[in-house]
Amino acid sequence: MGQDISRRQLFSLGAVVALVPTLRLFPSQTALVAGRGAWLTPLLALPLLLLWAWGMSKLLDARQAGETFPALLLRLSGRGGRTVLALLGLWALFYTAFVLRSGADRLVGTVYPGASPAVFAQAMGLLALWAALSTPRALVRAGRMLLPLLMGALLLLLGFAAFSADTDNLLPLGPEHLLPALQGAVVPLDVLTGAGTALCFLAGGLRTGAKPLFPALAVWSLGLSALLMGLSAAVTGVFGAALAASLSRPFFVLVRTLVFFRTVERVEALVVMLWVFPDFLTAALFLWTAQDSLRRLLGYRPDTARHPRFDFTGGRWLIWVCGAAATLGGMLLAPDPAALERWSTVYVPALNFAFVFGLLPAVYFVGRGKAKGLSADL
């Protein structure tokens, strides 16, 4: 991968990607478990989150110049490299389909009731495919440009929500709230480690001479944890924990109820459409990672140079196959809201934890063991 991605661009893309699961799971899932203590869950997740940041930085420190994330895992995994590549490629392909399906459901549920989610999944899938046919640098540049707009809108809305929040819905907190809040900390841990791992998919493109990644990952984690605390405090403060837990899209319901400058303004549709951009970039990033992994699995040597989109050499035909598979998956996955809820709150987080806290640490320790063995032989 060409050394042309800046640290700021990479972490901006990671922040945009984090907004996708954040507004899907937060704070309804934490309020369901932690009640009024839901706003504390990101703070309680910080120790494990910083441990993840340290472990991920150790893994990425092993990369060679220009080495993509799939190539790094292949090299470190030794004999199991092909299995690891297959798991990464299939996981990234599945998550692309899930993002297409969940984004389509949000559009149907908030702006286009009665429409078919398959239509929106298909349209977003085509856009993600078109982006994946480009270069990773195009994705990080788009993330860098979009982040101020998205964060500005989010912070503005949370600022207005603060005027409607009731502190009785947040305080007082007693010892009885600690254990539920600790249990609810699993949700922000899932959201941020998943998005943080996704931003590392493109770490091979960082410019040479970059400083160690752990401080940057730690600051990124702290900043987004603060954002999650503010989001949870706003939604839970306005609705109360019981109502927040019962809502499937509490942030967008909050937007519908906000009053701007003493007049009621319907900005929900605008905000929902704005959140199409994080869906698009997330789907494109995971689709790019899926095709890179699967092309290497089939013996190709992908590069990140700019190619014509209709160039099928070097296994680039597989990008189209992956795009079609992800789009079809997004159209067929979770045919009803209940099934989508199960995938969103149970299956996808479980798979994410297995990948982040199971597969990646195993790859790191296998790679470190190989390095020690080589040193001993020498």
Give the C-alpha separation, 70 to 323, whole Å. 18
Q: Is the pLDDT of residue 298 over 60?
A: yes
Q: What is the CA radius of gyration of the chain?
A: 21
Strands, E assignment, 165-231: none
Instruction: Quote the Cα angle for 253-256-260, to 5°.
Output: 135
Which tokens is 117 given? 């989610």
Higher pLDDT, 267 or 25: 25
Nearest by Cα to 103 from 10, 229, 95:
95
Q: Which pLDDT tens digit goes with each residue over 99-138?
A: 999 999 988 887 788 788 999 999 999 999 999 998 888 8
pLDDT in tens, 57-73: 998 888 877 788 888 89
Residue with tokens 């932690």: 34
Mean pLDDT along residues 347-362: 94
Residue 38's Cβ-side half-sphere holds a number of Cα atoms within 13 Å equal to: 29
Residue 353 has pLDDT above 50, yes or no: yes
Residue 5 phi, psi (nearest 5): -110, 130
Query: Which pLDDT band, with edges at 50, 70 and 90, does 195 fall under?
Result: very high
Tokens matching residue 274? 């704005």
Distance between CA atoms of residues 205 and 247, nearest Å: 40
Calpha distance 185→78 (Å, rounded): 35
Please report, as a single letter, which amino acid is at residue 369.
G
Q: Report DSSP letters for 235-281, one per residue.
A: HHHHH-HHHHHH-SSHHHHHHHH-EETTEE---HHHHHHHTHHHHHH
Domain boundaries, the chain: 7-377
Token pair belonging to 189 = 């841990």
* pTM of the entire predicted model: 0.92
Q: Is the pLDDT of residue 378 over 50?
A: no
Question: Quick one: pLDDT at residue 267?
Answer: 67
Res 48: pLDDT: 95
Tens of pLDDT, residue by residue over 69-98, are: 888 898 888 888 899 999 999 999 999 999
CATH for 7-377 (1.20.1250.20, 1.10.3720.10, 3.40.50.2000, 1.20.1740.10): 1.20.1740.10
